[in-house]
Amino acid sequence: MTANPKPLCIVAKCALCSTKTELFVCPHCDEVICQICVNKHRSQLNETLKEHWLKCKTKFHNLCQLTSKIILVKIIFF
């Protein structure tokens, strides 16, 4: 997502909250929404990405530990 979505230079109702204000096109989903909803959407996306990143880190750590154990067993028995 870009840092600052460009305004459409129109005032209309937001597709999400129905507030009549200046609208923006969300760079992630192309929804025409107000700045407040853009900020909320960006926060939700960041949280989701953080969760996925932590899952990946955990799985990588587990794989590294498993690989180390397998290598150790091969060294001991072969």
Number of domains in the chain: 1
Is the overall model pTM greater than 0.85, yes or no? no
Q: Domain for residue 45, yes or no?
A: yes
- Residue 75: per-residue pLDDT: 77
**22-71 pLDDT per residue, tens:** 998 887 788 889 999 999 999 999 999 999 999 999 999 999 999 988 87
Any domain includes 2:
no
Q: What is the mean pLDDT of residues 4-21?
A: 82
Banded model confidence at residue 72, pLDDT cuts 50, 70, 90: confident
Q: Which amino acid is present at 78? A: F
**40 is in which domain, residue-wise?**
7-77
